[in-house]
Amino acid sequence: MSNRFLISKKFALSLIGFLVLSLGIWFWQSRADQTLRVWFADVGQGDGIIIRTPSQETIIIDGGPSQKFVEQVDAKLPLTDRNVDLLVATHLDADHITGLLALLKTGRVKRVLMTEAFSDSALSKNFLAEIAAKNLPVINGAQGLEIFFGQVRAKILWPPKDFSFDPKNLNLGSIVLELSYGEVDFLFTGDAPDKVESRLVDANQLRPVEVLKVGHHGSKSSTSEEFLNATKPQYTILSVGAKNRYGHPAPSVLERLQKSNAEIHRTDLEGEILAQSTKERLIIISHK
């Protein structure tokens, strides 16, 4: 057997091995790329949502009351891509933007989506100043806006473009955002109260969703019966701190959720909650 034949055989085997490995990697990536992952982080009494799309883009909706939220975000993202493609501040309360401010300081945020609401708090002023210092593009989160991340669509349902914001009641201007991927829909309500829910119901802005992030941590002033009848969620997520001083979630809200036959998940009882979805199927994974 000639050396030339041995070299050709080794080359052929190496080439076949390379092709098989490449095909395996492609197959794995093609399957991974079909999955939308939404983590409801255990941030205590607040909201912090981390989204990784099938097109490998990262969306953050609120960041909880602690700077440690950055660590929770980093734990979900690959070392080679820790950029935040869109940072959404539903409103300027501390339990929603403290972690977002910490993320802004990392220099990894590409765009910010927020409303034109204003607040006199030192934290909100620092938040806005950091956005300005980084010269980041700011998108006005007003009703009707749609942003696409590959096959994932984010749509703003509230507030309207002509909304008059009240600095004494930031919850009224809280962003309500619908996220859709194939046949699976999520609804993120921030701290929107029942007055906002009623407006959305009356305007026929709502439709059935698979996952509802319950408004205002389960406060009795949110998640009305008419709102649940309009959204018909299969799964509901309560982002709430254990033994919090507000008594969230309110017993009346839990009663309404149970009556709606939705499956209830709580970060205070289950820790971090992951909603993992293809275009057709959704599973919920708790970490406690």
Domain ranges for the chain, please list them.
Answer: 1-31, 33-286
43-63 pLDDT, tens digit per residue, is 999 999 999 999 999 999 999
Side-chain-side CA neighbours of residue 262 (13 Å): 30
Distance CA 288, CA 286 (A): 6
pTM of the predicted model as reported, rounded to 2 decimal places: 0.88
Tell me, what's the pLDDT at 288?
72
Please say if the pLDDT value at position 244 is more than 90: yes
pLDDT at 24 over 60: no
pLDDT score recorded for residue 116: 93
For the segment(s) 33-286, the CATH number from 3.40.50.2000, 3.60.15.10, 3.90.1640.20, 1.10.3080.10 is 3.60.15.10
Q: Is residue 71 over pLDDT 50?
A: yes
pLDDT tens figures, 184-236: 999 999 999 999 999 999 999 999 999 999 999 999 999 999 999 999 999 99
